[in-house]
A and B are shown apart, each in its own frame.
Chain A
Amino acid sequence: QQPVQSPQAVILREGEDAVINCSSSKALYSVHWYRQKHGEAPVFLMILLKGGEQKGHDKISASFNEKKQQSSLYLTASQLSYSGTYFCGTAQSYGNNRLAFGKGNQVVVIP
Chain B
Amino acid sequence: DSGVTQTPKHLITATGQRVTLRCSPRSGDLSVYWYQQSLDQGLQFLIQYYNGEERAKGNILERFSAQQFPDLHSELNLSSLELGDSALYFCASSISGGDGYTFGSGTRLTVV
Given contacts A32-B101, A41-B104, A56-B100, contact A98 B45 (CB under 8 A): yes
Given contacts A98-B48, A98-B56, A102-B42, contact A42 B90 (CB under 8 A): yes
Contact A99 B45 (CB under 8 A): yes
User: Does A96 sit within 8 A of B, measured CB to CB?
Assistant: yes
A80, chain B: closest CB distance, angstroms = 22
Docked Cα-Cα span, A25 to B101, in Å, equals: 23
A residues adjacent to B (C-beta < 8 A): 2, 29-30, 32, 34, 40-44, 46-47, 49, 55-56, 87, 89, 91, 93-104
Interface residues of B in 40-73 (CB under 8 A from A): 41-45, 48, 55-56, 58
Q: A41-B106, A87-B42, A98-B55 are in contact. List 19 more A-B contacts (CB 8 A).
A: A2-B42, A32-B101, A34-B101, A41-B105, A42-B90, A43-B103, A46-B100, A47-B99, A49-B98, A55-B100, A89-B43, A93-B97, A97-B97, A98-B45, A98-B56, A99-B45, A101-B43, A101-B44, A101-B45
Count CB-based A-B contacts (< 8 Å): 70
In the complex, 25 of the A-B residue pairs with CB atoms within 8 angstroms, ordered by the A residue number, are: A30-B97, A34-B100, A41-B90, A41-B105, A41-B106, A42-B43, A42-B101, A44-B100, A44-B101, A44-B102, A46-B100, A87-B42, A89-B101, A94-B97, A94-B98, A96-B97, A97-B97, A97-B98, A99-B45, A101-B35, A101-B42, A101-B44, A101-B45, A102-B42, A103-B41
